[in-house]
């Protein structure tokens, strides 16, 4: 199903290590609005979409979100590369070092582990697509917050790329929503995933 190229979707560079900034950016790795949540949610929801077009959109975007998770992981890795325990402590992320050293782990900046509770799967295509549009807006907002917290122009370049992709995903989900609503209206599945003509 996937073809893996051994390169990032977009180049990821940092000016210098910065544990404090890495702590913030991990929000998009294991936080509620992060790339792990998005990829799993979309790839899971594709099975209950009623049309080939809507399934394809969820597959495409869910796959791209995996690539975004790889970019976030690379940012965190580069920002913490060669950091010692004191660097983690001074960066306000001593608990990360205590529990994982420099290993990546799916948490938010406060150390709260990722949970499947972050995912939405209603089984109703309209509810799910609208939830996805909301997820993209929350991710867009988080990237705006991260850019505001960062003074590293190289990090901000990668964050702006990810911000732009959230905007595109929102638009694509909107197109899929319109498509599914039209399909439902034409096939007497008005506003539900079930045939209401019975």
Query: Radius of gyration over alpha carbons of the chain, in Å?
Result: 19
Is 162:171 a contact under the CB 8 Å cutoff?
A: no
Is 74:152 a contact under the CB 8 Å cutoff?
A: no
Listing DSSP states for 37-105 in one string gives HHHHHHHHHGGG-SSHHHHHHHHHHHHHHHHHHHHHHHHHHHHHTT--HHHHHHTT-HHHHHHHTT---
Is 105:196 a contact under the CB 8 Å cutoff?
A: no
Identify the sign of the CA torsion 60, 62, 63, 65.
Answer: positive
Domain boundaries of the chain, sorted by first residue: 26-186
Kindly report, residue by residue over 63-121, the tens digit of the pLDDT.
999 999 999 999 999 999 999 999 999 999 999 999 999 999 999 999 999 999 999 99
How far is 29 from 10, CA to CA, in rounded Å?
Answer: 16
Kindly report, residue by residue over 143-171, the tens digit of the pLDDT.
999 999 999 999 999 999 999 999 999 99
Top CATH class of 26-186 equals mainly alpha
Kindly report, residue by residue over 23-44, the tens digit of the pLDDT.
999 999 999 999 999 999 999 9
């Amino acid at each position: 199903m996937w073809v893996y190229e051994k390169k990032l979707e977009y180049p990821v560079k940092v000016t210098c290590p910065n544990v404090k900034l890495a702590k913030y950016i991990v929000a998009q790795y294991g936080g509620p609005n992060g790339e792990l949540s998005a990829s799993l949610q979309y790839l899971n929801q594709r099975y209950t979409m009623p049309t080939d077009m809507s399934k394809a959109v969820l597959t495409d975007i869910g796959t791209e979100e995996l690539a975004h998770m790889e970019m976030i992981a690379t940012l965190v890795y580069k920002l913490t590369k060669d950091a010692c325990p004191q660097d983690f402590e001074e960066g306000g992320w001593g608990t990360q070092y205590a529990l994982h050293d420099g290993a990546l782990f799916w948490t938010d900046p406060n150390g709260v582990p990722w949970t499947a509770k972050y995912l939405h799967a209603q089984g109703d295509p309209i509810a799910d697509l609208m939830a996805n549009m909301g997820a993209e807006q929350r991710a867009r907002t988080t990237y705006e917050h991260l850019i505001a917290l960062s003074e590293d122009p190289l990090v901000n370049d990668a964050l702006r790329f990810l911000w732009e992709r959230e905007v595109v995903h929102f638009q694509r989900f909107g197109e899929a929503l319109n498509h599914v609503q039209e399909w439902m209206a034409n096939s007497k599945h008005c506003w539900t995933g079930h045939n209401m003509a019975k």
